[in-house]
Structure 1
């Protein structure tokens, strides 16, 4: 919490009378000068706090106590926070009875001078405004000069805290905030409010320094907007510019917006977006459900999620989105999404999480995020290896089970239905992520860095696709359970972590970059043939650490494929390749391939491998194969093996070896010394 220490100046009885008499000239901007954002993980900045009692009989009071926004019930006494440079004392209450007026000064009482100018007095009494909705519209208590009510429309004109409750439906059902950008933040405390606007948006934050929608603990708050818009709003911003606006969301803000509180917030967006701000959107906590026609959560400047249980469903749009196109904003890091906490479920028509800049998923200070994403109905056209049976062993793909016998082909739609998309970069260092997507699981127009967290991906296209570079390292745990290609990037670097990919085409494909071929998925740059992505592209693949498993189906498929060179200097790699046509096999390179003896590589195939030291070894699903340093039980039978640790054969015992399993499997495990 940001704190301000307030010094209450001594005021004579004559001064009190003078202040009360001049209250009519008070500017609306002087009310509730809270000054700075009050940030707390609780449902309110002021929950469960004790405020000092001010005796109205005293003509002078001196105190340095903190006076936070109060969370008292309607009608109780509340202390009004003030900035250190402006005064916001109380004057007369709503029934005309004079009350003690307390002037707040940035100068201690002992230093005050008789020549100091008197501070302005706000006509709002000490209690915060309380707005109650009923069938006839809204009524307000303690309105002061900061709240106006017209039927069901409540207009907020000053910074501060406002309590809302009740239920109302109508074409005028709206909370409209229009405060000076130099004013303090606006807190809309929802204490059990159901608001349905049949013509527009129920919450419209037209102008504010910062706005907070707070769902108070133990309450359910539901907001529903109209399915169309006919109304436009004209106003003047702080720069004196005339603006015309139409609300584009159920909760629609032009300035910074924070969603918080320990209560329940339900948003039903029939027109466009669920919760939208043209600046920065933050979600702190709460139980949040958004059903939107277009995007669920959208912060054009940025989106930050640090907590809460969030359920998003969209019928025609993306789940969570940040999409500024301003070059200056992008250069400063705007257009990004950061998730450091919360339990998030996204079921979207198109992309699950998408940013014009970067997407970052990391563990927060006190929790780690859990994210589940389903896009485009989830993968639907590639054979699922967890249910398909093999005529020769456990799991895996039936022979010839893919179109035309030429390996699997992507059946992703031309629309973008990716799990997580970051135009510049994606960085995952923590959390638990589960993606089921019609399009790529992870896709970046730049780089992808996976250094931590646990990730499971099922897709009809690529599991992980980076247009520039892919890095897997540290404690990353990535499992692609079904994909066209498991991981693809022109520059692939495996420095650590545990990965598993099960694909219908290439497992790892170092390709792309300069490709100019067309066809296939929109924006993909073409497949360059059934084998996937030759087309003049370049590639570079390096493995220096980690544990990695690659399984590819039948057809013209490659386990590890590079359109450039391959350098394997460390790590543990298991490749199962069921290729039955074409060239390549377990390891395929168009450039120079170097496999160090420090690396532990075992490949199992049904055909020759283009690269690596190859051995004619018949293997089946009943035994472990390898050497005294590495052993693995294959999932199908074959007669070709690649090994970097010498002549492979049957390993009779794995006792004393270290077991490492790939993905969520309990039987696809490698044993090493």
Structure 2
């Protein structure tokens, strides 16, 4: 391993349970660098000069930078969610330290700086354990790590970590995760502090549990990321923020999950751009408080595709295929009334058969703009109020200016929900409804049990 000023000591990895094989840990330090990183600030320099000696990475004189724009309707101000360094896809490697991975040799980073890491290794963990004001940038330059039971990247302490990809990289954990003291390290990338993923390369994550787990904020602003996880693909306590990048997820639980057990006012998800393909057995996008989508192309296949307390869609192209609810606003946060608000974008929703809803709000639905194209027996279901103020609504192929709180018939369709009539112009059993039949003006002696083939009782 080539690293200036590094020392090597034989010691048991404190992040692994006792009785495991002792591994070699290389302590890597770098000189302090200017690390101003204020969200929404332009104070960071996004240009760099020089070359990281021997790394094969030329420092860019013109940095590759993602962009994000605030939406005037947004609950969240996107200009305050990302710093300039978050959005810069290239690293200043002029003073970077180089690290080449080796089997069974962990890497410990304890000081602020830029670290260029390359090589292939097994049973190796890159651990960041630095001061709480230290900003660390790790450049993955053709890295492949395969572990059995511990994270490939473990951030124990830092102010913030930037994980920047160059070339093709892969991280895999194949077995049951072990603990680090009281910490349940259950993700391939496990961070106790803020972490940003960016870059111009690719990162493939394969996990027997979670893919990426952040105990504060997890941001993605660039790169191509592919995650296959037996639990959640990306989870965070405070927020998941996506500005750009190509993200492909296959998850046996949720694809994106933001939730803080101690504070239900946070745990939000913001998507401002990028290309996302999310396949999940449970929820594809699950935010406790807010889910806000300002742009991007998002293809979703899941049980429930988008779930949160306040769901706001301002722009973007969203394709939903759901077996439960397409978009579901439920009371998960005490800070907001369950609401679905659509101000723009193009949303296509295709629902499975049975008790499924295209747009399901335990509160209110507001359609102010954009285009909604829903194919469902129950396009809309809400407990509060629904307002149509603009935009285009297409339900089962027909344009409408109403938000009907009812079943709409079709294959498997049947009786209406509260507030609605019978679907598809028929009584249950297929008998045709008379032209003058008014379900809202029934006579006192009307007996639903004597309808053709009998209407199901309420018992």
Q: State the alpha-carbon separation in 2 of the partners of residues 554 and 200 from structure 1.
A: 48
- The 3 A distance-change label for structure 1 pair 499 and 255 is same
Provide the residue aligned with 1:661 in structure 2. none
- The 3 A distance-change label for structure 1 pair 30 and 224 is closer
Provide the residue aligned with 2:151 in structure 1. 201
1:608 aligns with 2:437: yes
Provide the residue aligned with 2:85 in structure 1. none
1:71 Cα offset (Å): 5.4
RMSD: 3.3
- The 3 A distance-change label for structure 1 pair 324 and 73 is same
Provide the residue aligned with 1:249 in structure 2. 187
**Residue aligned with 1:245, SS:** coil
Q: State the alpha-carbon separation in 2 of the partners of residues 198 and 444 from structure 1.
A: 38
How many residue pairs get aligned? The number is 361
1:176 Cα offset (Å): 0.5
Contact 1:325–1:356 under 8 Å retained in 2: no
1:450 Cα offset (Å): 1.0
Q: State the alpha-carbon separation in 2 of the partners of residues 606 and 431 from structure 1.
A: 42
1:343 Cα offset (Å): 0.3
Q: State the alpha-carbon separation in 1 of the partners of residues 322 and 56 from structure 2.
A: 52
Deviations 1:32-88 (A, max 9, x none): 243323899xxxx9887336xxxxxxxxxxxxxxxxxx656539999xxxxxxxxxx
Provide the residue aligned with 1:466 in structure 2. 361
Deviations 1:353-403 (A, max 9, x none): 10111100113xxxxx0001111xxxxxxxxxxxxxxxxxxxxxxxxxxxx
Deviations 1:406-432 (A, max 9, x none): xxxxxxxxxxx201000x210011000
1:421 aligns with 2:374: no
Matches within 5 A, 1:646-657: none
Q: State the alpha-carbon separation in 2 of the partners of residues 38 and 128 from structure 1.
A: 22
**Residue aligned with 2:373, SS:** strand
**Residue aligned with 1:562, SS:** coil
Provide the residue aligned with 1:335 in structure 2. 267
Q: 1:370 aligns with which of 284, 294, 297?
A: 297
Provide the residue aligned with 1:577 in structure 2. 424
Q: 1:281 aligns with which of 218, 223, 232?
A: 218
- The 3 A distance-change label for structure 1 pair 205 and 579 is same
1:182 aligns with 2:143: no
Deviations 1:263-313 (A, max 9, x none): 00110112x110110100000011110010100111211000010010000
- The 3 A distance-change label for structure 1 pair 75 and 577 is closer
Provide the residue aligned with 1:261 in structure 2. 199
1:476 aligns with 2:370: yes
**Residue aligned with 2:357, SS:** coil
Structure 2: gaps spanning 5 or more residues = 1-27, 60-93, 331-337, 442-459
Provide the residue aligned with 1:224 in structure 2. 172
Q: State the alpha-carbon separation in 2 of the partners of residues 555 and 355 from structure 1.
A: 31
1:495 aligns with 2:389: yes
The higher radius of gyration belongs to: 1
TM-score normalised according to structure 2 size? 0.71
- The 3 A distance-change label for structure 1 pair 267 and 38 is farther
Matches within 5 A, 1:130-169: 130-134=98-102, 137=103, 151-169=104-122
**Residue aligned with 1:307, SS:** coil
**Residue aligned with 1:430, SS:** coil
Q: State the alpha-carbon separation in 1 of the partners of residues 152 and 435 from structure 2.
A: 63
Q: State the alpha-carbon separation in 2 of the partners of residues 606 and 32 from structure 1.
A: 81
Contact 2:367–2:389 under 8 Å retained in 1: yes
Q: State the alpha-carbon separation in 1 of the partners of residues 414 and 49 from structure 2.
A: 72
TM-score normalised according to structure 1 size? 0.49
**Residue aligned with 2:325, SS:** coil
Q: State the alpha-carbon separation in 2 of the partners of residues 553 and 287 from structure 1.
A: 40
Q: State the alpha-carbon separation in 2 of the partners of residues 263 and 29 from structure 1.
A: 25
1:192 aligns with 2:142: yes
Matches within 5 A, 1:289-300: 289-300=226-237
Provide the residue aligned with 2:13 in structure 1. none
Q: State the alpha-carbon separation in 1 of the partners of residues 121 and 317 from structure 2.
A: 40
Deviations 1:485-524 (A, max 9, x none): 1101121111111112239xxx95548xxxxxxxxxxxxx
1:175 Cα offset (Å): 0.2
Structure 1: gaps spanning 5 or more residues = 1-27, 52-69, 79-125, 138-150, 235-243, 364-368, 376-416, 512-531, 533-549, 567-574, 587-604, 613-673
Contact 2:52–2:95 under 8 Å retained in 1: no
Provide the residue aligned with 1:74 in structure 2. 55
**Residue aligned with 2:343, SS:** strand
**Residue aligned with 1:295, SS:** coil
Provide the residue aligned with 2:419 in structure 1. 562
Q: State the alpha-carbon separation in 2 of the partners of residues 607 and 319 from structure 1.
A: 49
1:444 Cα offset (Å): 0.5
Provide the residue aligned with 1:455 in structure 2. 347
Contact 1:47–1:71 under 8 Å retained in 2: no
Q: 1:320 aligns with which of 256, 259, 268?
A: 256
1:556 Cα offset (Å): 4.5
**Residue aligned with 1:448, SS:** strand
Q: State the alpha-carbon separation in 2 of the partners of residues 250 and 76 from structure 1.
A: 25
Q: State the alpha-carbon separation in 2 of the partners of residues 280 and 212 from structure 1.
A: 12
Deviations 1:184-205 (A, max 9, x none): x111101101011123111111
- The 3 A distance-change label for structure 1 pair 554 and 211 is closer
- The 3 A distance-change label for structure 1 pair 296 and 226 is same
- The 3 A distance-change label for structure 1 pair 268 and 429 is same
